Amino acid sequence: MLQLAVILPTYKERNNIAHMVERLNAALHGLVWEAIFVDDNSPDGTADEARRIAREDPRIRVIERIGRRGLASAAIEGMCASAAPVVAVMDADGQHDPSLLPQMYDAIISGDYDVSYASRFAEGASTEAWGRPDRVKASGFANALARRVTGVDLTDPMSGFFMLRGETLRADAHRLSGVGFKILLDILATVDRPLRVKEFPLNFAARLDGESKLDRTVVFEFLIGLYDKWLGRIIPTRFALFGTVGAMGVLVQFAVLWLVLSGVLHERFVYGHWSGSEMAFDTANTIAALAAMTFNFVLNNELTYADKRLRGMVPLLKGWAKFALTCSIGILSNIASADALKRAHVSDVIAVLVGIVLASVWNFALSSKFVWGKYG
């Protein structure tokens, strides 16, 4: 009888798959297990590599998601795709030590615990081999914040290595946010009854091959998680982020406009009013708009879509061009709708605001599909 499923979300881990399977095989000796790689259509052929191994070893399974990205949602879908009574999630890059799995399993099966997890910061754990003191620090901060705000008292609630009963997960799976990567914290904060958690110290290793996809965003990710839990149902998290970035973009546009006009052409300012030619103003404003748009693109790429971040010169340039196209149509619809409302005798402020909201929704919908999404 199938006892345990190990879910391994992957994105660009081709060279780590075979090694991971070998280690699982050695560690899980004596258990009836399966491993499910949940790959988001990695360009390096990770899914193909996993399928190659799966053809020879039916304990290995592959879920390939097309047009999707995200560690948390991959983990949730993998866990829901197994009939095993107990499910685990871990990194596929060799950073999580599979030899902890049997002890984690025993803790769940004993009935004394609902969740087992491996902590990078428990007594006896270590992060030296990780070789990333910056990330150790950021994780420490995020964890402290998590403890304070959610009341979840673990040494490492951001850990990506944990195990629980499938039914525990499924009971609340529909209420999990699935955004980002703080999945364990999400589970603990979502499930109403307190879960009994058993902690295992982890020697967090350096990754075998490839690079981290979650760099730089741990603390930010955590704040997003909080927002998501509190207000995410009213204004979806990504849209809230996109809107916030957009509002900052407006400030950038004014700042750049002011800089260009006052810096380059300052003699044309009379009592704070522009008295130069229309053309100079239009040129300055175009520069300002482009600057604001580029600022928005960069920030959205770093924050709003950190989990699907575009990297490398060509993808970035392509993304920027598509974003620019989306926004220019957004601006036209903004102006057109405000104009129509004004003619219908709606007050100026309302007309402008409605225009802005419409354009934001448009920009968000299109760019989430065409710049950072399925058709990106």
Long-range contacts of 206-211 (CB under 8 A, 24+ apart): 206/95, 206/129, 206/130, 206/131, 207/16, 207/91, 207/93, 207/94, 207/95, 208/15, 208/16, 208/19, 208/93, 208/94, 209/13, 209/15, 209/16, 209/93, 210/12, 210/13, 210/14, 210/15, 210/16, 210/93
**Closest C-alpha to 284, from 296, 272, 276, 273:** 276
- Toward Mn ion, which CB reaches closer, 122 or 214? 214
d(CA 237, CA 247): 15
- Toward ligand GDD, which CB reaches closer, 34 or 307? 307
What does the block give as tokens for 39? 């790959």
Give the per-residue contact string, 114-153, with ligand GDD (x = CB under 6 A; - = no): -------------------------x--------------
Q: Where are the beta strands (DSSP E) in 33-166?
A: 33-39, 60-64, 86-89, 115-119, 162-165
- Toward Mn ion, which CB reaches closer, 203 or 285? 203
d(CA 95, CA 161): 10
Name which of Mn ion, ligand GDD, none residue 92 binds, using a CB cut-off of 5 to 8 Å depending on partner kind: ligand GDD
Task: Calculate the alpha carbon distances from 52 to 15, 18, 29, 229, 286 in Å.
Answer: 13, 10, 22, 39, 53
Give the per-residue contact string, 39-58, with ligand GDD (x = CB under 6 A; - = no): xx------------------
d(CA 186, CA 228): 10
The residue from 24, 100, 146, 158 that contacts ligand GDD (CB under 6 A) is 158
What does the block give as tokens for 202? 């982890």
d(CA 17, CA 28): 16
Q: Does 93 bind Mn ion (CB under 5 A)?
A: yes
Q: Does 92 bind ligand GDD (CB under 6 A)?
A: yes
Name which of Mn ion, ligand GDD, none residue 70 binds, using a CB cut-off of 5 to 8 Å depending on partner kind: ligand GDD
Stretch that binds ligand GDD, among 50-58, 67-75, 263-271, 362-370 (CB under 6 A): 67-75
Q: Where are the beta strands (DSSP E) in 74-121?
A: 86-89, 115-119
Task: Calculate the alpha carbon distances from 18 to 48, 61, 92, 208, 266 in Å.
Answer: 12, 13, 10, 11, 64
Minimum separation from the CB atom of position 8 to Mn ion (A): 11
Name which of ligand GDD, Mn ion, none residue 11 binds, using a CB cut-off of 5 to 8 Å depending on partner kind: ligand GDD
**Sole residue written with tokens 């402008």:** 352
- Toward ligand GDD, which CB reaches closer, 52 or 342? 52
- Toward ligand GDD, which CB reaches closer, 17 or 86? 17
Name which of Mn ion, ligand GDD, none residue 27 binds, using a CB cut-off of 5 to 8 Å depending on partner kind: none
Minimum separation from the CB atom of position 373 to ligand GDD (A): 13
- Toward ligand GDD, which CB reaches closer, 60 or 71? 71
Stretch that binds Mn ion, among 91-99, 114-122, 336-344, 363-371 (CB under 5 A): 91-99
The residue from 38, 76, 87, 205 that contacts ligand GDD (CB under 6 A) is 38
Q: Which residues bind Mn ion (CB under 5 A)?
A: 91, 93, 95
Q: Which residues bind ligand GDD (CB under 6 A)?
A: 9-11, 13, 38-40, 69-71, 74, 91-93, 95, 139, 158, 160, 181, 207, 212-214, 218, 307
